[in-house]
Amino acid sequence: MNFHNSLTSADETPIIIKFNESYKLWHGFLIHIPRLTRYTLGAKIDNIFTECLELSLLAGYSARETKLPLVQKLSVKFDALKFFLKLLWELKALDNKKYAALSQPLSEIGKMIGGWLNLLKKENSSRTAGRE
């Protein structure tokens, strides 16, 4: 059996696809960041990016009742990712063009995470209200 055939649809959701594309873009930029910053702030951003990807996959594959805490953690990690990318740009280690190229898909991902979080909160409150 081929590995690709064994994957389910969670890795093909819009948020995973967008995260994948964004990470590939970031990965291409990482090599061009000045050495000192690349191995400090660049490495930090790279780790947070992969953690966000992992949390997206975990949430996508998890049972509905366990999704909310994962998506909440994803939201916090994603905010940290945006913060450190902005800091990298403010330090002029990432130029305007690259920062803009990353900001556009990350903005879309932020909206997706927000929508996912709101949906899960509504479902969670509906289940809680149904038990009372």
pLDDT tens, residue by residue, 47-98: 999 999 999 999 999 999 899 999 999 999 999 999 999 999 999 999 999 9
Considering only residues 128 and 131, tell me which one the structure prediction assigns the higher pLDDT. 128
Q: Residue 66: what residue type? A: T
Task: Say whether pLDDT at 3 is over 90.
Answer: no
Note whether 43 and 84 are within 8 A (CB). no
- The DSSP 8-state label assigned to residue 92 in this structure reads T
> What residue has token string 């992969």?
50
117: CB partners within 8 A, 6+ apart = 68, 71, 72, 75
* Residue 11: closest CA among 3, 106, 81: 3
Structure confidence at residue 2 as a pLDDT band (50, 70, 90)? very low
Task: Say whether pLDDT at 45 is over 90.
Answer: yes
pTM above 0.75, yes or no: yes
Looking at residue 1, its pLDDT comes to 39
Structure confidence at residue 127 as a pLDDT band (50, 70, 90)? confident
Structure confidence at residue 6 as a pLDDT band (50, 70, 90)? very low
For the segment 20-42, the average pLDDT, to the nearest whole number, is: 97
11: CB partners within 8 A, 6+ apart = 57, 60
Looking at residue 4, its pLDDT comes to 46
Between CA 72 and CA 40 the distance in angstroms is: 26
Looking at residue 126, its pLDDT comes to 79
Of the CA atoms within 13 Å of residue 5, those in its CB half-sphere come to 2
Q: In CATH, which of 1.20.1440.60, 3.40.50.1820, 1.10.10.10, 3.90.1150.200 is domain 8-131?
A: 1.20.1440.60
Between CA 85 and CA 41 the distance in angstroms is: 9
